[in-house]
Amino acid sequence: MKCSDDIDDLGFARVDLQRKARQGFGEVIYGEGKTAGQIIAILKSLDAHGQRPALVTRIDAEKAARVADAFGGDFMYFAEARLGRLGENRPCDGLGVIAVACGGTSDLGVAEEAALVAEALGNKVVRIYDVGVAGIHRLLACESELRSARVVVAVAGMEGALPSVIGGLVEAPVIAVPTSVGYGASFGGVTALLAMLNSCAAGVSVVNIDNGFGAGFLASRINHLKGEA
């Protein structure tokens, strides 16, 4: 039942039909805690109101398979990022390149979530993976790619040093993403989070632990700003 022109009331969810007009992209579905049937119903509502592409974050393979059955080849699932997408990416209209860098292979899921979200929102993304500070020559070998980016997303666990190092190398804003990767004293990513919040490099902002979605969305906002970032 539609309770207004702005909202489609499904009983268990009130789908925000005007978010695309307000923010440039439609409502994104957080898949964890929702059933496959609920996700399908919300996607059908968004689709009926011209909201493609529509994204589902934190969706497992079993739910994604059921959603894919409902939409056929129009629904793509990216297992590493636990991300689903209905429809094609928006046309690439970002003003520059977004670089997504991560410290190690264990951070790839979060990094891919950021990269795929940024691509869905119409950005060109370059991936710079496994360039952690334990082998800093790997990062320095990619310095030209980092410097050419309009915004950099830096994903790291353990001690979370990568964003600070990148922040000291580039002119672009850096979005730091702490991950829950690490041994006992990493406290599920809290150590990396606090290290990034205390970065001495100027121009580094921080999102929540494992929040690749938030980083990719913010990077897209920055990359679509007119004039200098």
User: What are the boundaries of each domain within the chain?
Assistant: 7-86, 97-223
Q: What integer pLDDT is reported at residue 33 of this predicted model? A: 94
Q: What is the model's pLDDT at position 227?
A: 67
Mean pLDDT by 10 residues, the chain (229 residues): 74 91 91 96 94 96 96 94 96 96 96 98 97 93 95 96 96 97 94 96 96 98 81
- Cα three-residue angle 202-221-22, rounded to 5 degrees: 140
- The pTM assigned to this predicted structure is 0.93
CATH topology of domain 97-223: Rossmann fold (3.40.50)
Tell me, what amino acid is at 18? Q
Query: Is the CB of residue 163 less than 8 Å from the CB of residue 154?
Result: yes
- Which uninterrupted H or E stretch holds 217? helix 212-223
pLDDT of residue 229: 45
* pLDDT computed for residue 93 by the predictor: 94
